[in-house]
Every structure is written in structure tokens, then in C-alpha cells.
Structure 1
């Protein structure tokens, strides 16, 4: 555990710290004790928000503790409900994998039940709201047709101009109204602009999950580490389940030389340091010397401090509209987490036309290339119009 940093956890709820301590407690330690004024309602709310209740219940059922019976019962019900949901997702994952395989669509599952099995040894030990599937960009239309025939409805529409969806976005969402299952089809690991491994590279490094007799493919070990770091960092680690995943990955052991090479290539070392520093402090993750060096960098400490904002309050970045305070902070955080090169690419991306340009001045598709020279004028026009309304 790294303690010689300026991380300030003073304003993090005591209930959250107690929750984390309980999860990491050695079952041989005996018992747990809580103060009489401990806020159990907030404890439960935090366990649900951070999606840590499966690990929490698994731990407290093996410990003698002073947890109130109603809290224990609520955790038990959440755990059982999650187990059924994960079994439901596993069945659908098998069906989707077979469907895509029979139509020659290469498929890599990113999260879902495979992470529960891979990181915790049991699908019931991790929550998942949906299935995330990575497919080659050229197969997106085929996948759309297959899922529509299976009863899925596209639930994620966005405007696009000059095919900017291919790099500005990274997935589209489908929902099955009868099965009540959400499926995210990815063609990138993360939203752009940015450089990341090609599907071919990821496919060549893929692994087969042991979760099923049906071939279910997942990311290679280093690619999974990088993906989970990118995903968690992009969300400010606002759900500590994502940081718990990093903790488990480190415990499994990593080939640091191979991992370092990939992280450096894709400008992820500063975010890795952020995650390792947070995991070390919050989950007592043991780090080797190379990881300690990475977590001790000034940039890692700076970014880790920025995430404390999300730990001090319940932030759900998937619920729109966000409170103004959270929205403003998160936009600033997203920019601050980019490397210098990533910031340059991000700024240059503003030169590419946006769908708003086509809405401001509709042109025939054959003339869409004119949005490039017209973009500055259209941007100023929208700004002036907005100011006039205010």
C-alpha cells in the first residue's frame, strides 16, 4: 500500500470506507463491529451504487458481525437477484456467440459474466447490467440485421455526418423487450478520437473463456487490463466495482514488461498509475516495484486526487441530465486525463464537421465536404444565435 501521497480521503463517507474494509477483511480475523450511530441506510445505498454488494455479502456471511438482520437480509436478496440475472446474461451470451459464429462474425466479449468468472471465479460475485460485445467495424450492418431478426430493438440512435460515428462513438445499444436484456455492440474499445489497438490485434491476442463449453472469446490479459483502466478512468472510477476489478487483476499477477509496452504505446501509463494508486489506498492492493514507480508519478497522484470528487458523493454518469456541478466537473476531468498527444488529437477533431453543422445548414450529401471550410462560420452562427436567445 502506498501511503506517502497527498490523497485526501477525509470527506469520503465513513460508511464507504467501512464497506471497503469489510470486503478486504480476512475471514480469519473473526468479527466486525460498528459504532451505534453507524448509518446503515447510507451503507446499503453505497453498496448498491458502487455495485459491491455481491462481494460484501460473500464476506459478511463468513464473518461474525454486528450487521443488523434487516441489512443482512437485504444484501442476501440483492446477491440472489444478481445471481439469477448473471445466469440469464450467461445464457444470452452463449446464444449471441453462436449466432454471430454461424454468420462468420468474429466476436470478443468485453465484460459481463466472463469478468465475474475471470476475476472472481464465480459469475455471481460481480454485477453487470448488460453484455458488451466487440465486433469488426465492417460487420456492424450484419450484426444489426441479425439482432433485429432476434427481436432486439436499437435503443441508441445518434446523428452523424461524413461517417464521424466510426471514430467519435464506440458502441450502439440494443434492447430485447421480452428478455429484458441490453446488448452493447462495440466497434471500438473507447470513444474517439484516439488511438487504440485494431480489432485484428485484439483478436490475435484473444483468450477463450472457461465460462461455457460454447467458444466464448475475451480480451487477452494485457488488453483486458488496458480496457478496464480506460473504462474506469473515463468514468472517474465513480463506481468502485471498476477499481475492484483492477485489484483482482493485479492479484492474479501481470507480466509488467508486456503490459508496460502496450500501455506506453497507447498513452495509458498515467491512467494506470492513477488506478494503481487508488487501488493500493482503497483496496490495499499489493504492488510490485514497477507498479509502485508507475503509481508514484506526479501525474498519477494528480489524477487520483481528481477522482476523490466522485467518491465523496453518489455520481451516476449514466443518468441524464447530470447536476450542473457534476457535469462541469466531469467535462474538466475528461480533458485533464488526456495525455498531451491525446489533447492535440482531441482539439484537432473539432475541425471535423459535426452533425450540428448539417442541421444548421442542410446540404445534399454529395456536398457534405463543404462543411469542412464552412465549419468555423457555422459554429460562430450557432454561438451568436444562442447568445441572442439568452
Structure 2
């Protein structure tokens, strides 16, 4: 699918619909909306569904109609989708309450975060923030008990799973499913070495929930929410738009509770300060400038951050198709982590170690892996393939929680 006949417009209107917090945010945007043709509106509708942002886009375009009095062809279809989505989310929230009640009854310490927590306690309207799974963080020592509790509730992993082995293999989570809900059971927020070693930093920034109707379990502090969302956005090659929108909404709605100094101390302790700074800048550049996001930026961005902001434009971020895997990997390597992490990743990509190859091919090392590895990577680049390394190598996908745009 080609982008619309106004290629510099539909992405801008789509992002404004995601970020608008009141009808007045559309002031002065009438010309941009009137210039959109049928293809542009079709792209906006498709992008809203693709990125899991239909609720926000529907509300935002309703506000545009209210403020500007312009005709918006996709308003009714988005409103119907939003209403149908709400029914699904109500069922998922009910299942999430059942899960968290059982974990709390068993005295398991846990954190509810991302989708279900954000929809309830930050967005304040379940229809605005879609999610397909419930993300729960437990301590590594409690992971087995939590997993068994979920299995007793009828949740099942996609394959036979040994929790202790998954932790030893340095995976970050296990996904278990029931028809109405998937639960991603985490014992760390990331498989990154620092997250694996310093889980105490994470738990020190989690507190009991506020509100009588809140689901049981701890909640992340606003600072930890922002760090986690920035890490997720950057680590996933800037493809998943929802974490950027979440970052913007959290920064604005939780603004008075966010301590910028505390935020940057936490981010530095996890070596994620550059990700937070970049995400705040992209929130300002791509969504809506706001004092609450502006104060999260560093005074002087580094060269790498300035280059990232120049490269990651509206058209680069909001697409009708994912970028090629090689482009995604280069984005992540160039902008998605610290300089030292980027250098290590480039070294691993160009000169993989024995254990890297064993992980890639899912079997014990033999010398034939080196020519096979380079041949597959060259084929992926030359053919501009969208297939993963595993598919080219004829391997089953590695077991990990599924990545879905509505599943966060």
C-alpha cells in the first residue's frame, strides 16, 4: 500500500490525533485535514488499528470535528471499532482482576504495569488504550509459584516450560494464555545484563496502588514508568509507536508527580538516560510539545541524539508497513542504546562468538555455523528480505512472549 497523495500530511494528522488532550489542540490544523484525500484517511484508519491506537485516534478526530467543523470520513468506522474494542477490554480487565486476586491471596509480591495499569490509572478510559495481555512482574524467586498459580487458573504456555530453566537461559518472561487474555509473567523488565543483576533498583520504585477499585499488586512510580516506556520504544527499533504515545501521556498526566532529577538518576543507574532524553525529544517533535515533556530533556543533546532526531521523522516512524529487518536492526544499533552497548552489538553482528552462534542456530557449535551465518545475513541484505534469521535458517521461532501492537 502506498502512502496517501499528501505524504507529509496524513502522518501529521494521525500523530496529532494520538497526542491531542483537548479539542483546542486542533486549532490551526484545518488546512492539513482538508488536504487529505481518501487514501490519506484510509492510511490513518489502518495505522490506528495497526499500532493499537484506535481509541485515541477516534477521540482525537472527534475533537478535530468538534473544534474545526470539518468532515472526517473515518469517524464513524473508528467509533464502531472503539466500541467493539471496549467490550474486549472489559473482558480482559475482568480476567486480569481474577489473576491479580489469586496472586495477592497467595502472598506473591508482584507489579502490574504497562497496558492494563496505564488504561485504568493514567488514561482513565478503558476504550482509549488497547492491550491484549496483562504484564506482571514478580521476583525471580516467586516466578515458579506465580506460574503455577496461573496454570491452575487455566492459563497455558505455548509449549512445555520450565521456569527455572527460562531464568537460567536469561529470558525475561513467559507468556501464558487463556481465550480472553494472555499474561506475560516477567521476572525482570529486560534481558539486559543490568536489569538481570539489579532488580532491587526496579522494586525500590514500585509502590502499592492508589484507589479502591484498582487491581491488586504494586505499581511503578511515574519515573520508572517513563524509563520503562523509553527503553521499550528504543529497544524495539522505534517501530512500536504505542510506547512513545504512552510516554507522552504519562509525562503530561503524571507531570506534577514526576521529579526530573529522580527520573534521570534512575535512568543513569540503569544506563538508559540517553533513551529517556531521546524519547522525550521525539515526543516533542512528533506528538505535541508540552512543558511536562520538555522538562525531561537534557539541556544539551549529544551528537547521536541530534542525528536520531533528524533521522526519526514522522514519515520514518509512522508507516503502512514495517521497515526491513536490516533497517530496524541498524536503527536499534545506531540509536537504541548506549554507545558501549551499540559497539558490543556491532561486534556480535560482525564477529559472533561461539555462544552467539549456538543461540542463533539453537544447537551445539560446529564450524559450519560461521559460513552459514554469513550466507544467511548476506542473503537477507541483498534480497531485502522481511523474513527473520530463524526462518531463513529453517528454525522454529525462539520461545518468548509474542510481540503484538495491541498486546502491551
The question of a shared fold, defined as TM-score above 0.5 by the shorter chain, is answered with yes
TM alignment of 1:105-254, pairs within 5 A: 105-155=108-158, 165-166=167-168, 168-177=170-179, 180-195=180-195, 198-207=198-207, 208-210=209-211, 212-251=213-252, 252-253=254-255, 254=258
1:291 matches 2:296? yes
Name 1:326's counterpart in structure 2: 324
Name 1:340's counterpart in structure 2: 339
Q: Aligned match of 2:13 in 15, 18, 34?
A: 18
SS in structure 1 of the partner of residue 182 of structure 2:
strand
Deviation for aligned residue 1:215: 2.6
Q: After superposition, what is the alpha-carbon deviation per residue over 1:299-328, rounded to whole angstroms, capped at 9, x for unaligned?
A: 222233454475252345xxxxxxxx6111
Deviation for aligned residue 1:236: 2.8
Sort the Cα spacing of 1:50 and 1:119 in 2 relative to 1 into closer, same or farther, 3 A. Answer: same
Name 1:273's counterpart in structure 2: 277
Q: After superposition, what is the alpha-carbon deviation per residue over 1:61-110, rounded to whole angstroms, capped at 9, x for unaligned?
A: 343343345x2221111211222222222212211111112222211112
8 Å CA contact 2:226–2:276 kept in 1: the answer is: no
Sort the Cα spacing of 1:116 and 1:61 in 2 relative to 1 into closer, same or farther, 3 A. Answer: same
- The count of residues paired between Structure 1 and Structure 2 equals 352
Q: CA RMSD in A?
A: 3.5
1:314 matches 2:323? no
Sort the Cα spacing of 1:384 and 1:213 in 2 relative to 1 into closer, same or farther, 3 A. Answer: closer
Deviation for aligned residue 1:157: 6.8
Deviation for aligned residue 1:279: 0.6
1:27 matches 2:23? yes
Sort the Cα spacing of 1:85 and 1:304 in 2 relative to 1 into closer, same or farther, 3 A. Answer: farther
8 Å CA contact 1:194–1:342 kept in 2: the answer is: no
Structure 1: 5+ residue stretches without partners: 1-10, 317-324, 362-377
Q: Aligned match of 1:75 in 65, 75, 78?
A: 78
8 Å CA contact 1:137–1:187 kept in 2: the answer is: yes
Q: After superposition, what is the alpha-carbon deviation per residue over 1:218-274, rounded to whole angstroms, capped at 9, x for unaligned?
A: 212211111111011112332332211111222132211111111111111211121
8 Å CA contact 1:270–1:294 kept in 2: the answer is: no
Q: Which has the larger radius of gyration?
A: 1
Q: Distance in 2 between matches of 1:283 and 1:102?
A: 41
Name 2:305's counterpart in structure 1: 300
Deviation for aligned residue 1:19: 1.9
Deviation for aligned residue 1:165: 4.8
Q: Which shows bigger deviation, 79-88 or 163-172?
A: 163-172
Q: Distance in 2 between matches of 1:223 and 1:167?
A: 26
Structure 2: 5+ residue stretches without partners: 1-5, 380-408
SS in structure 1 of the partner of residue 37 of structure 2:
coil
Q: Distance in 2 between matches of 1:176 and 1:205?
A: 30
Q: Distance in 1 between matches of 2:195 and 2:91?
A: 35
> TM-score, normalised on structure 1?
0.77
